[in-house]
Chain A
Amino acid sequence: MNLNYWSWDTFFDALPVILQGLGITIGLTFASYLFALIFGFLWTFLRRIPNRFVHFIVTWTMEFIRSTPPLVQLFFIYYALPVIPYIGISLHPFACAVLGLGIHFSTYIGEIYRSGIENVDKGQWEASTALNISTWDKWRKIILPQAIPPTIPMLGNYFIIMFKEVPLASTIGVAGIMLLARSYGAENWSYLEPLTIVGIIFLVLSYPSAVLIKKLENRFNKRFHKNQIMKDKGAMQ
Chain B
Amino acid sequence: MKKILIYDGTFDGFLTTVFQVFEEQLKDVEIVKPKHYQPNIFIEAETIITDSKKAKRVWKALQVKVTKSGAHKLYASFLSEIKGVENALLRYIVYAYCSESFIHTDYSNKDVLRVAQVSKMVFRERHRMEAFVRFQLTKDGIYFANIEPDFNVLPLLLKHFKSRYADQRWMIYDKKRGYGMYYDLNVVQYIDLELTDAFDGSKKGLEKVFTSEEFQFQSLWKNYFDSTNIKSRKNMKLHKRHVPTRYWKYLSEKQPEL
Please indicate whether A and B come from the same complex rather than being unrelated chains.
no
Residues on A lying within 8 angstroms of B by beta carbon are none
